[in-house]
Structure 1
């Protein structure tokens, strides 16, 4: 993986940056204007969660990627959806005492250049927790390969979120994350 120079990772105020990060997510994830409008208040609510960490990847004054997460709570909507899937596989304990990587997106032209790796590693390092959990589209995508290279493993495949057509996989990793540059 080629490392991109000139990209800085910096902490951001998620509420203030919500419109900008959603623009990046729209491009990276292929979201339309209606989907972005639905997600804006969700990001605003996430910004108010205790322990939320939000980071921006900046290149020449331009937002090129972002990530955020928070200590997981069983009462969060996401947790209530994934709990039965994790419980069915004996992984329900992954809902407690873990850092949930909520969103991680990099503009397509910069993917594969180490930006996502730097974002997720920094998020997890700053969490102060010893495990991390996330969900990703349940397909062999570059994102899934990235997560596996960092030490994430599948905890529950074929998770169905309401109003989504594609299944997701829930993945978990012990922290610190592996360094994908080391064999």
Structure 2
């Protein structure tokens, strides 16, 4: 599958394909660092988290690469598991909102990032829809910074709705929203 990078001839089209995230973890974290503004210390912590996640049963990743094979975006996720750290943090918020059942039979989008020069070109949409299209679960769940952002607007267009807001993760300075959508995602 390809996604267009219209409007910037230097960007060119990208290919969306399965990603060996364990082998390209440093490339993926470089994308995440640029897209999300992470420092070296945070990247080091996240490296261990990504490698642990990708070894989980059912975990899958897709990457967006340019013509030179450079990773310009990625997504990964896995079937939801209440024993996972993320689920443990969001569960009380979801329960208060009457939505904790979303932690069962859901495919969790763990990370989705696209380099700034490649954003607003359909790459994020292609990554998340391609990944969730192969999920066996009937729905998807994710968390995003609880602010009106292009990412949240994309998720809403795909059918995600807020399940819980003002969710605080232990090391985060900003609150998050947990969002869920039935699968397949809207086109």
Instruction: Give the TM-score normalised by the residue count of structure 1.
Output: 0.95
Q: CA deviation at 1:163?
A: 1.0
- After superposition, the C-alpha distances for 1:109-136 in whole angstroms (9 at most, x for unaligned) are 1111000000000110011221000000
Counterpart CA distance in 2 for 1:127 and 1:14 is: 18
- After superposition, the C-alpha distances for 1:10-46 in whole angstroms (9 at most, x for unaligned) are 1112211111100000000000001001111111101
Answer yes or no: is 1:85 the counterpart of 2:103: no
Counterpart CA distance in 1 for 2:70 and 2:21 is: 16
Segments of 5+ residues of structure 1 without an aligned counterpart are: none
**What is the DSSP-based 3-state SS (H/G/I as helix, E as strand, rest coil) of the residue aligned with 2:72?**
strand
Counterpart CA distance in 2 for 1:130 and 1:7 is: 29
Q: CA deviation at 1:3?
A: 4.1
Answer yes or no: is 1:72 the counterpart of 2:80: yes
Return structure 1 stretches of 4+ with deviation > 4 angstroms: none
Looking at secondary structure, tell me which structure has more helix per residue: 1
Segments of 5+ residues of structure 2 without an aligned counterpart are: 6-11
- How many matched pairs? 178
1:18 alignment counterpart: 25
1:50 to 41, 48, 57: 57
Question: Over aligned residue pairs, what C-alpha RMSD do you find?
Answer: 1.1
2:122 alignment counterpart: 114
Q: Tell whether the 8 Å contact from 1:53 to 1:127 is kept in structure 2 after alignment.
A: no
Answer yes or no: is 1:169 the counterpart of 2:177: yes
Counterpart CA distance in 2 for 1:6 and 1:106 is: 14
